[in-house]
Amino acid sequence: MERPSWGEPTVTVPPPLRLMDQVSVVCRRRHLSRRTEQAYRFWIRRYIHFHDRQHPRAVGPVGIVAFINHLAAVRGVAASTQSQALNALLFLYRDVLEAEVGHLSGLRRVQRRERLPVVLSTDEVVSTLAQMDGVVALMAHLLYGSGLRVTECITLRVKDVDLQAGLIHIRAGKGGKDRTTLLPDRLQAQLRRQLLGVARLHKRDLVRGAGFVPLPNALERKYPSASQSLAWQFLFPSRVVRACPQTGRLLRWHASESGVQMAFKEAVRQAGITKHASVHTLRHSFATHLLASGTDIRTIQLLLGHRNLKTTMIYTHVEQAVRKTVSPLDRLHLP
């Protein structure tokens, strides 16, 4: 009697990932920030369109030179923009396509210009912050009082604020680095009220079956209950709750950075300040005013989270520029 033939087991082969999906996978495997991933995807798309929608593997690394030179000669981009585009394409060929790039002969780089950052005087900071109120005002006070970047401010968690020690802990800041900076005493009461408000909002979210918050990397698998804990909630939560497309959980993200950016721009206008100041100017002002008050440059470097002291040294030039120096015209005895 013959045994029944069950046939060979069927193996389902998943379809190959599209190029942009491969870029995202490699970015996340290397723990690059979401902003870096977005920037790399943007420049890779521009590169593909530049070469008439050809696949980068068909174009080859030689196509990098033509595109980068086009950005410099035709588009007139800044040196930092050109460098970002070049880094995106090197990442594409070396890390995603695993192709040898070699020497890029004929590459024309935009000359980097040393520019002094825009800095507000202490009086201008006072008059600008006086025009702001609510949560965006608290954010702006933190940016100036602690030297935070905008993204570092809006992504703060409840656990990152240490009121007792007077410290703020920044996790995975620019370059994926952690650091600690000071928490101004003047903001103690406001931050306490903000924390209590977050706790009340989180309690209401839990009642309605929400209360989840996105966690970095693979922490959700390692600590399943952390996503619903108060400690991991954002200090500046979003007003809306959105469903996670992967899990269906109702997530409350952090507030948008555009909120404080637009509010600060309007405050600068209302204060009658004509400087080209953005909300990031508060961070520059934090460093410059600390240096002018006698804080040593190494301490400022640590507070700002700069990897290289050379980056922080730019504020020594700013501080010298804002120092009260008497003009020789003022020394003349004119009628």
State the catalytic residues. Answer: 149, 174, 280, 283, 306, 315
Length of the chain: 335
Looking up tokens 């993200």 gives 253
Q: Residues 198, 235: contact at Cβ < 8 Å?
A: yes
Q: Which residues contact 9 (CB under 8 A, 6 or more apart)?
A: none
Classify burial at 81, counting beta carbons within 10 Å of its beta carbon; exposed 0-12, middle 13-18, buried 19 or more.
Answer: middle
Contacts 24+ apart (CB under 8 A), 247-250: 249/210, 249/212, 250/205, 250/208, 250/209, 250/210, 250/211, 250/212
Reduce the DSSP state of residue 214 to 3 states and report it: coil
Q: Which residues contact 44 (CB under 8 A, 6 or more apart)?
A: 19, 20, 23, 56, 88, 89, 92
- Two structure tokens written together for 24: 């995202």
- Two structure tokens written together for 97: 């396509």
Cα(56)–Cα(42) distance, integer angstroms: 14
Amino acid at 56: P
Taking Cα atoms as reference points, which of 141, 153, 120, 139 lies closest to residue 268?
Answer: 120
DSSP assigned state of 305:
T
- Count CB-CB contacts under 10 A for residue 327: 7
